[in-house]
Amino acid sequence: MIASVVATLEGPPNATARLLSSLRALPGVETGPFDETTRRLPITIESPTPMALEETTRHLRECRGVAFVDVVFVHFETEPEHPEADFR
């Protein structure tokens, strides 16, 4: 699974710098150039399963200093998982 998202960051410059380095340390995560004007950070996420991908996206969303995460692209590299929803 490969996806890309755009994170909108908020907060003072030193906090943003710390946030950027912690995001870069996340497994499967690659960050692109942070745009100071738009405060947007392009990120690709590579993960073995759709679940793991979703987990990483959720984690990003919950990081302090991340105002919003928008998804731009998602590729189901393997067949999408479609187990019957577990409520049935």
**Between residues 14 and 75, which has the closer beta carbon with respect to other proteins?**
75
Smallest distance from the beta carbon of 21 to other proteins, in angstroms?
A: 18
CA distance 43 to 46: 10
Q: Please answer whether residues 32 and 73 qualify as being in contact, where contact means their C-beta atoms are separated by less than 8 angstroms.
A: no
One residue of 29, 42, 59, 63 binding other proteins per CB under 8 A:
42
Give CA–CA dist 63/71, Å, rounded: 16
Report which of 30, 62, 34 is spatially closest to residue 46, judged by C-alpha positions: 30
Binding mask 52-71 for other proteins (x = CB under 8 A): -xx--xx--------xx-xx
Q: How far is the CB of 64 from other proteins (least distance, A)?
A: 13
